[in-house]
Amino acid sequence: RGGGGVCDFGAIGACGAGIGMVNSPARAVADNPGLKTDNLKAVAVYYDHQMNDSRVAVMTVRAAVESGAVVLNHAEVTGLRMTRGRVTGAELKDRLDGTEFGVDARVVLNATGPWVDHLRRMEDKHSMPSIRLSKGAHIVMKRKSPWKAAMATPIDKYRITFALPWEDQLLLGTTDEVYEGDPADVRATESDIQQILDEAAFSVKDADLDRSLMTYAFAGLRVLPGGPGGVEKAKRETVVSEGAGGMLSVAGGKWTTYRHIGRVVMDKLAKLPGSPLTEDMEPVKSLVRRVPLPGVANPNAVAHRLLVDREPGTRMDPLTARHLASHYGSLAFDIARLANEDPALAERIHPDGPEIWAQVAYARDHEWAETVDDVLRRRTTVTVRGLDDEAVRTRVEEMLGL
């Protein structure tokens, strides 16, 4: 049935793996008491890594800003600016206050994920689809027993179901089915939830799959190359194309290769007419290849310093210190400073979670969080823990000035 290990960062995407050993069912149950052992002969163990995709996305944007980028959150592209048949900018709309404005550019990169073909049709209404979408759903469960390793269980020739220890909970999934609706409307349906539970039941005990343990359900979209056959068979490859108006579009790929994709795209952008990029691309490539994301640090060392380097008369809960260290790295010290300056920000957002109110202030002031969901779902793990009750959401609204 398979098994795996997890690293410190704590969330969804796998970043690399190595084959390990084969263990007995008894050894596997010692690590994961929720494992079913009926007819189980052996468990293959491999080692893998985890990352929090929301946190890595925010830190990637922050790294871009430190290199000179300008960030517009909640900005919708409503049209493209054209000059003599070439794309030379975009018309934008602020989705929060309705403000409309435009941006001029010498080159335009369309990296809009599941909306990539929508923008390609703005450039050329006759453009053919370049990608297709696959919906993947997950559910999050409270853990009844300790889980020391992730579990990967083959379902058929192409698909595997996962049971991962994640954010002190259990992450189950995923589904893989074609999606043809509006990307903004993707949701985990009741059918998705039941499918995930049924597939998890191949290897997870029923007591650990009780519906009362579920705290959250969500779905996302995989951007896959267009082609024949089912989406479960499609290769997870990157699609890069230049349109009739000179706009470069890129979609697909995986977190494991996103820096490589960045280098490929920069090479292609440099060759476009009017590109501001010089022939000497080495400084740019070096930036994409070698510069670490903001805050990258050993989480064990950061957590230790958060606990021992305190102002007189203050202390930090070890669970909070560990959470901040693993999700913010060395930037956790900035959050700790906010908590030291204002004791109210040192309080937990919810008594059942490790996060503190200083993270809300930090998301507002340094991470472009403008809505309650930006904070609770996309900058912190409050929502996925099922802790975003009305009182929490109301206070976040107040802190955001909504």
For the domain that residue 29 is a member of, what is the CATH number? 3.30.9.10
Same domain, 307 and 271: no
Considering the domain architecture, whether residues 267 and 369 belong to the same structural domain is answered as no
User: Does one domain contain both 305 and 355?
Assistant: yes
Q: Where are the beta strands (DSSP E) in 199-277?
A: 214-225, 238-242, 248-252
Whether 22 is in a domain gets the answer: yes
243 in the same domain as 374: no
Q: What is the per-residue pLDDT for 6? A: 29
DSSP conformational letter for 171: E
Is 90 exceeded by the pLDDT of residue 72?
yes
- How many domains is the chain built from? 3
Burial zone of 281 (CB within 10 Å; 0-12 exposed, 13-18 middle, 19+ buried):
middle
Residue 10 structural domain: 3-53+132-225
Kindly report the backbone phi and psi dihedral angles of residue 289, in degrees, each rounded to the nearest multiple of 5, phi listed first. -85, -40
Q: Would 275 be classed as within a structural domain? A: yes
* pLDDT confidence band for 15 (50 / 70 / 90): very low
* pLDDT tens, position by position, 81-105: 999 999 999 999 999 999 999 999 9
- Residues 269 and 286 reside in one and the same domain: yes
**Alpha-carbon distance 321 to 348, whole Å?**
12
- The pLDDT score that the predictor gives to residue 272 is 81
Among the listed residues 319, 304, 315, the one whose alpha carbon sits nearest the alpha carbon of residue 350 = 319
Give helix then strand counts, H and E, for the chain: 12, 15
Q: What is the mean pLDDT of residues 375-390?
A: 96
Contact call for residues 7 and 165 (beta carbons, < 8 A): no
Higher pLDDT, 280 or 340: 340
Per residue in 125-160, pLDDT (tens digit) is: 999 999 999 999 999 999 988 888 888 888 887 788
Question: Is 66 a domain residue?
Answer: no
- 207 and 350 belong to one structural domain: no
- With b for 16 or more beta-carbon neighbours within 10 A and e for fewer, the 349-380 pattern comes to bbeebbbbbbbbbbbbebbbbbbbebbbbbbb
Q: Distance between CA 348 and CA 272 in Å, rounded?
A: 51
**369 plus 395 within the same structural domain:** yes
pLDDT tops 90 at residue 119: yes
CA 336 to each of CA 93, 232, 357, 387: distance values in angstroms, whole numbers, following the listed order: 36, 44, 11, 22
User: In the listed set 246, 264, 290, which residue is the last one of a domain according to the structure?
Assistant: 290
On whether both 364 and 322 belong to a single domain, the answer is: yes
- Residues 359, 370 contacting (CB under 8 angstroms): no
User: Quick one: 312 and 389 in the same domain?
Assistant: yes
